[in-house]
A and B are shown apart, each in its own frame.
Chain A
Amino acid sequence: MIFKCLSLIEGETQIYARVDEDGLIRLTCTADYPEFKAWLAEGNTPLPADEEV
Chain B
Amino acid sequence: MSTVKATNFQNASSATANMVTDASGNVSFGGTAAMSSSFLRNRIINGDMRIDQRNAGTEVNPAVTQTYYLDRWQATSTAASKYKIGQNAGAVTPPTGYTNYLGLTSLSAYTVGAAESFGVRQLIEGLNVSDLAWGTASAATVTLSFWVRSSLTGTFGGSLRNSDGTRSYPFTYTISVANTWEQKTVTVAGDTSGTWLTTNGIGIILIFSIGAGSTFSGTAGAWAATNYLSATGATSVVGTNGATFYVTGVQLEVGTVATPFERQLYNAQLAQCQRYYYRISATGNNQPFANAFCDNTTIARGAVLFPVTMRDRPTALEQSGTVANYAIISAPTGQNCTSVPAFATSTVISSEINFTIASGLVAGQGCLLRSGSASGASAYLGWSAEL
Q: Which of B68-76, B115-123, B175-183, B336-344 contacts A (4 or more CB under 8 A)?
A: B336-344
Within B312-327, the residues touching A (CB, 8 Å) are 315-322
Query: Quick one: given A32-B315, A33-B315, are A26 and B345 in contact (CB under 8 Å)?
Result: no
- Which residues of A sit under 8 angstroms from B340, Cβ to Cβ? 17, 25-26, 28
The listed residue with most B CB atoms (<10 A of its CB), out of A24, A28, A36, is A28
| B320–A26 touching, CB < 8 Å | yes
Partner of A29, one of B317, B320, B322: B317
The 8 A CB mask of A1-42 against B (1 = contact, 0 = none) is 000001001001101010010001111111011111000000
Q: Does B299 lie at the interface of the complex (its beta carbon under 8 Å from any beta carbon of A)? A: yes
Closest to B296 in A: A9
Partner of A6, one of B295, B316, B322, B342: B342
Q: How far is the CA of A32 from the CA of B320 in the complex (A)?
A: 22
| A28–B321 touching, CB < 8 Å | no
Query: Quick one: given A27-B316, A28-B340, A32-B315, are A13 and B321 in contact (CB under 8 Å)?
Result: no
Partner of B315, one of A6, A17, A26, A30: A30
Partner of A27, one of B295, B299, B318, B344: B318
Q: How far is the CA of A13 from the CA of B315 in the complex (A)?
A: 11
Q: How far is the CA of A20 from the CA of B322 in the complex (A)?
A: 12
The listed residue with most A CB atoms (<10 A of its CB), out of B295, B315, B317, is B315
Q: How far is the CA of A27 from the CA of B383 in the complex (A)?
A: 10
| B299–A9 touching, CB < 8 Å | yes
Query: Quick one: given A9-B299, A20-B321, are A28 and B342 in contact (CB under 8 Å)?
Result: yes
Closest to A24 in B: B321
Closest to B340 in A: A25
Q: How far is the CA of A13 from the CA of B318 in the complex (A)?
A: 18
Query: Quick one: given A6-B342, A15-B342, are A27 and B317 in contact (CB under 8 Å)?
Result: yes
Query: Quick one: given A32-B315, A33-B315, are A26 and B343 in contact (CB under 8 Å)?
Result: no
Partner of B343, one of A24, A30, A34, A35: A30
Shortest CB-to-CB span from A24 to chain B, Å, is 3
* In the complex, the 10 A-B pairs of residues with the closest C-beta atoms, listed nearest first: A24-B321, A29-B316, A26-B321, A33-B315, A32-B315, A28-B342, A28-B343, A33-B316, A30-B315, A25-B340
Chain B residues with CB under 8 Å of chain A are: 295, 299, 315-322, 340-345, 354
Can you list 16 A-B contacts (CB < 8 A)?
A12-B345, A15-B343, A15-B344, A17-B342, A24-B322, A26-B319, A26-B321, A27-B318, A28-B316, A28-B340, A28-B343, A30-B315, A30-B316, A32-B315, A34-B315, A36-B316
- Contacts beyond the supplied A6-B342, A13-B344, A25-B321: 16 A-B pairs with Cβ under 8 Å: A9-B354, A12-B344, A12-B345, A15-B342, A15-B343, A17-B342, A24-B321, A24-B322, A26-B318, A27-B316, A29-B315, A29-B316, A29-B343, A30-B345, A33-B315, A34-B315
